[in-house]
């Protein structure tokens, strides 16, 4: 028997699903950096809430931008004390 597309190891559907998951996760991480830099506290809270609508796609508090700054760096640099 051949391997199923829904197998955990390999398979086209699984590969596409994993790529899609990572794409969404990276987007949420980028959104977190933007929200922190701009002082959008409700967005920051929502993006970090693993029990909220994002679930396992919640942003990673340690995510870093291209310059290796975290959301904390961005918020502090812009004086967004509510975020810090």
Express each pLDDT in 6-40 by its tens digit: 445 555 668 889 999 999 999 999 999 999 999 99
Percent of the chain with pLDDT over 70: 85
Write down the H helix ranges in the chain: 12-37, 41-48, 71-77
Range of the domain at 58: 12-77
Spatial separation of the C-alpha atoms in residues 70 and 51, rounded to whole Å: 22
Domain presence at residue 4: no
Domain presence at residue 1: no
Report the pLDDT value the prediction gives residue 14, as an integer from 0 to 100. Answer: 84
- Dihedral sign for Cα 66, 68, 73, 78, please: negative
Domain presence at residue 6: no
Q: With contact defined as beta carbons under 8 Å apart, do 14 and 3 qualify?
A: no
Residue 11: CB partners within 8 Å, gap ≥ 6? Answer: 3, 4, 5
Domain presence at residue 62: yes
Spatial separation of the C-alpha atoms in residues 47 and 58, rounded to whole Å: 5
SS3 state at 16: helix
Model confidence at 1, pLDDT cuts 50, 70, 90, reads very low
Domain presence at residue 84: no
Report the pLDDT value the prediction gives residue 5, as an integer from 0 to 100. Answer: 46
Percent of the chain with pLDDT over 90: 81
Q: What is the number of structural domains in the chain?
A: 1
Query: What's the mean pLDDT in 38-65?
Result: 97
Domain presence at residue 70: yes
Report the pLDDT value the prediction gives residue 9, as an integer from 0 to 100. Answer: 55
């Amino acid at each position: 028997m051949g391997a199923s597309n829904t197998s955990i190891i390999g398979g086209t559907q699984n590969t596409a699903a994993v790529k899609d998951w990572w794409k969404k996760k990276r987007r949420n991480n980028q959104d977190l950096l933007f929200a922190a830099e701009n002082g959008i506290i409700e967005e920051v809270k929502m993006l970090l809430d693993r029990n909220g609508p994002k679930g396992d796609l919640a942003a990673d508090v340690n995510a870093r931008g291209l310059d290796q700054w975290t959301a904390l760096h961005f918020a502090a640099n812009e004086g967004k004390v509510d975020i810090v």
